[in-house]
Amino acid sequence: MTNYLYNLISIIVFNDLIKNTNRRLGFISTKGFTLIELVVVIAIIAILAGALLLIINPSKLLAKARYARRMTEMETLRSALARYYLGHVAYPYTLDQTGGWLSAPPCNTAWGICVDDWIPGIVASGELPALPKDLKHEGYTGSDPEHSGNTYYLYRSDGVDYKLLAHQPEKCLVTDKLYDPARVNECGWAVECDYGVTCWSWAIWSSDASKMW
């Protein structure tokens, strides 16, 4: 990039020298810019804009924002479930569903069931205004309208205990505050790897009984 700027500046200086010579000889007017000057200025602006985008890296900033929001939403769900338990002496029950895991549609049905009320009754009870959806919840990507990418929230409970997942969050590492100990394995084809193992999800659980669900 330094070489580009050097070359462009050299062109400007050379062009200015020619223009001043022509001006002294009376070949051109003293007013306005030449076409080559305008082209060079536009090129410099484009290069500087590209450099600024590389420095700012908007995709990285967006990923950090999603990371922070994901953490916040998980903690918000934890608090809402605690309040629900105080009022009902039980957590929202899901084991009447296939596999017991629920998520907002569309989701990967290999995990269980895709339903709008994926933490049953918690919105109706007033503990939450609405259930969140992960910002990377990608929607329909296959032949089955219930299948999508794998980044989404999941919930499972037998009424006595529960486990909440943020499945395949970006930059999931075993050093993360909420990493799921039940979903780590040796590094392989997964996206992120840390200390020789792969983190597949973040998790919050109510007790050791549900920790390894």
Q: What's the whole-number mean pLDDT along residues 66-80? A: 94
Q: What is the pLDDT of residue 142?
A: 46
User: For the stretch 101-124, what's the b/e string if a residue is b when 16 or more beta carbons lie within 10 angstroms of its beta carbon?
Assistant: bbbbbbbbbebbbbbeebbbebee
Q: What is the pLDDT of residue 46?
A: 75
User: Is residue 183's pLDDT more than 70?
Assistant: yes
Q: Between 118 and 32, where is the model more confident?
A: 118
81: left (phi over 0), alpha (psi -120 to 50) or beta: alpha
Q: What's the whole-number mean pLDDT along residues 85-112? A: 85
User: Is residue 188's pLDDT more than 80?
Assistant: no
Contact (CB, 8 A) for 204 and 163: yes
Tell me, what DSSP letter sits at residue 207? S
User: Is residue 54's pLDDT more than 90?
Assistant: no
For the chain, what is the mean pLDDT? Answer: 77
Q: What is the pLDDT of residue 121?
A: 97
Q: Work out the burial of residue 185: count CB atoms within 10 Å of its CB; fewer than 13 is exposed, 13-18 middle, 19 or more buried.
A: exposed
**pLDDT (tens digit, 9 = 90+) per residue, 121-161?**
999 999 999 999 887 776 544 444 333 457 889 999 999 99
